[in-house]
Structure 1
């Protein structure tokens, strides 16, 4: 398992929370992190590597 972190993004792109996840690969981490999106954006990272960003209003994903 690989450790990923999903950062909850507040106003002015400041991280306001974090959820640590152990996932088998990027695809499973993306699926898990996408469930965290509500009124805030979410950025998914694996160590210092950005994996994806989820924008709250449109619920669209951008792979980095």
Structure 2
């Protein structure tokens, strides 16, 4: 399992909060992040590597 950090963003692009999660793959981490995000924009990172950016409007 790999360690990821999920950064929630507000409408102005600022950070609201961070969640930590563990997942077996990037795809699994993104799936977990989407269920935690509940309509918020977010970025997900694994150490210094940005795995993805998801907009709630998308």
Whether the 8 Å contact between 1:5 and 1:18 is mirrored in structure 2 is: yes
CA RMSD of aligned residues (A): 1.3
Q: Which runs of 5+ in 1 are unaligned?
A: 59-64
Any idea what the Cα deviations from partners look like across 1:7-64, whole Å, max 9, x if unmatched? 0011332111011001111111011011123342011100111001110122xxxxxx
What TM-score, normalized by structure 2, do the two folds share? 0.85
Q: Which runs of 5+ in 2 are unaligned?
A: none
What TM-score, normalized by structure 1, do the two folds share? 0.78
What CA distance in whole angstroms lies between the structure 1 residues aligned with 2:43 and 2:36? 10
Whether the 8 Å contact between 1:37 and 1:54 is mirrored in structure 2 is: no
